[in-house]
A and B are shown apart, each in its own frame.
Chain A
Amino acid sequence: GENVEQHPSTLSVQEGDSAVIKCTYSDSASNYFPWYKQELGKGPQLIIDIRSNVGEKKDQRIAVTLNKTAKHFSLHITETQPEDSAVYFCAAFMFSGGYNKLIFGAGTRLAVHP
């Protein structure tokens, strides 16, 4: 079935440390994997995405890696800052039940302490 598992559910780091969030997905045919950041009272904001023909993508302090064989992908945030504190969601684009849809993980609440 359609499923994206995300770990950990909460993550607490000191400012300047790195943070890693991991996701696994069920559908081996999935080909698009975005990451979203959601701050309190706001909608999810797309921060980075990766497609299945790429193994890694970087954008300043943020990077995403994809292992298609193992069906998992990870978000890496380096040199964390207090403004990185938010809930992060991974997602995978899947064909399920006759339709295409973006399936989201349960989210990771990241707290960056000064």
Chain B
Amino acid sequence: KAGVTQTPRYLIKTRGQQVTLSCSPISGHRSVSWYQQTPGQGLQFLFEYFSETQRNKGNFPGRFSGRQFSNSRSEMNVSTLELGDSALYLCASSPSDSLGGEQYFGPGTRLTVT
């Protein structure tokens, strides 16, 4: 099976702009989670989608949003970008319909905000 894919792999944006990142989960996985990874804060949970509904969320401001489509593909959007949003954004999919199942990560999208 193909792994989790994320596009684009690299992105450079300017402060104040918005950005949309895309994630395609492993075939058959219905749960998709998003994480932000920075050297200072480490790996932090953003939100999780299951069957097109946001099921769980972390402690990020409303500028961070996401959605999931009927084919389980997911997008996350960051509006009004700030310098501190520069990070590796990781998507993970899970085969488990119940919570607390194993998650498989994609390679990430490296976002740089200037």
Contact = CB atoms under 8 A, between A and B. Distances in A.
Interface of A: 31-32, 34, 36, 41-46, 49, 89, 91, 93, 97, 99-107
Contacts, number: 52
A102 B103 contact: yes
B61 to A, nearest CB: 14
Interface of B: 4, 33, 42-45, 48, 55-59, 90, 92, 99-108
Given A101-B56, A102-B33, A32 B43 contact: no
14 contacts: A36-B105, A43-B4, A43-B90, A43-B106, A43-B107, A44-B43, A44-B105, A46-B103, A46-B105, A100-B55, A100-B100, A101-B58, A103-B45, A107-B42
B102 A34 contact: yes
A106 B44 CA distance: 10
A39 to B, nearest CB: 11
